[in-house]
A = this chain, B = another copy of it.
């Protein structure tokens, strides 16, 4: 039987294999091939001779790395380009320019970068090809507003919407109608050029209209819907005047509606997912098998409260350990998705570290179980760790050092727990983002 030390090394190895599989440069090079004068993206085929210019735009934590992939495929054929990344996510590029901006809280740098991209696209014509690169974080990094609306107005509006109990779909309806980019507006700006959007998905189920708020995807909602959200939640009085007036103008027909499915603007637009959680999960499965484990994917749509999710995954792991069900030992259980943390304390941590901390309690005393929770972006919550790894001895080791696991959990202080117990998984920023992975080895 493998030792705990081997299990821990294997779990890190499997996690690393997943990260390699979703490296943006690699994903772009898989998705986009050049054959002579043809650019091939899956079933799509573009004759490069037909295009006068090729422009590359984009935003998101992975967009710089994606841009590098595009440069590797298209090289000197790219005429111009610009992508917006989170501060610290720079990558050296040849032709495509790079702007760093604020995330998760948007800042003026992002707005300035977005305006420059819009200016770039304003000059495109029917014989141009635009490649748009989107990934998680695009919603905050890639935005500019219409009319009199300021960043402060949008921040106040977002705060009001979040605290009134509005659903995320309602919030997005409002956001899309004050943005010059979201809800298909970017596609409108790029028309009549040919547009291909390549997407690294950080959302469960890969919904195109949600990832980065769907800049090149039809929007089924209207100005009237947006105003109805404000009415429903009694925000007409308190909402910033500039936004209220803009939405009213939209309702009266004086501003063009976000383009819907029937719009001719989308005739030359294609959206393609080039990477997602499924790819990371599949790589984990293959690597686990290679290391001698029986892999089993439980789900790729994991959500819910992090500490509760840990309990259920641990219940399956214990079942494997005790009864070789639902898969025989040595086994690797795999789950992908993204949980949430309801913050109750003022500690430091992230959803993956909190899940691992809760798992340590749930598997305390169990032999031959290792539980790794990691964010594929390498930064779990506002910390420098990707996640953490625990085993059946973690709770006991903590107790011996006088660390009260329950109390760290109740304070949402998972980072400091693992900092003191040396349980972090640290990868540094990976420049990719396809949500989270849970890997559980049971022998």
Task: Tell me the A residues contacting B by CB distance below 8 Å.
Answer: 296-305, 308-309, 311-313, 315-316, 318-319, 323, 325-327, 335, 337
Q: Which one of B297, B315, B337 contacts A325 once the chains associate, using CB atoms below 8 Å?
A: B297
Asked if residues A300 and B323 are in contact (CB atoms below 8 Å), the reply is yes
Asked if residues B311 and A304 are in contact (CB atoms below 8 Å), the reply is yes
Asked if residues B337 and A296 are in contact (CB atoms below 8 Å), the reply is no
Asked if residues A319 and B300 are in contact (CB atoms below 8 Å), the reply is yes
Q: In whole Å, how far is A371's beta carbon from the nearest beta carbon of chain B?
A: 15
Determine the distance from Cα of A326 to Cα of B316 in the docked complex, in whole angstroms. 12
- Specify which chain B residues have a CB less than 8 angstroms from the CB of A299 in the assembled complex: 312, 315-316, 318-319
- Specify which chain B residues have a CB less than 8 angstroms from the CB of A315 in the assembled complex: 298-299, 301-304, 335, 337
Q: In whole Å, how far is A70's beta carbon from the nearest beta carbon of chain B?
A: 30
CB closest residue in chain B, given A335: B315
Copies of this chain = 2
Q: Which of A297, A300, A312, A315 has the most CB of B within 10 A?
A: A312
Q: Say whether chain A's binding surface is mostly helix, strand, loop, or mixed.
A: mixed
Asked if residues A298 and B326 are in contact (CB atoms below 8 Å), the reply is yes
- Specify which chain B residues have a CB less than 8 angstroms from the CB of A316 in the assembled complex: 298-299
- Specify which chain B residues have a CB less than 8 angstroms from the CB of A313 in the assembled complex: 312
Q: In whole Å, how far is A64's beta carbon from the nearest beta carbon of chain B?
A: 31
Q: Which one of B296, B303, B323, B326 contacts A311 once the chains associate, using CB atoms below 8 Å?
A: B303
**9 smallest beta-carbon distances between A and B, as pairs:** A308-B308, A312-B312, A299-B315, A304-B311, A299-B319, A297-B325, A301-B315, A296-B326, A299-B316
Asked if residues A304 and B297 are in contact (CB atoms below 8 Å), the reply is no
Q: Which one of B300, B326, B335 contacts A297 once the chains associate, using CB atoms below 8 Å?
A: B326
Give 8 A-B contacts (CB < 8 Å), ordered by A residue.
Answer: A298-B298, A299-B312, A301-B318, A304-B315, A308-B308, A308-B312, A312-B313, A315-B337
- Specify which chain B residues have a CB less than 8 angstroms from the CB of A305 in the assembled complex: 305, 308
Q: Which one of B298, B309, B318 contacts A319 once the chains associate, using CB atoms below 8 Å?
A: B298
Q: In whole Å, how far is A112's beta carbon from the nearest beta carbon of chain B?
A: 40
- Specify which chain B residues have a CB less than 8 angstroms from the CB of A326 in the assembled complex: 296-298, 326-327
Q: Which one of B308, B318, B325 contacts A304 once the chains associate, using CB atoms below 8 Å?
A: B308
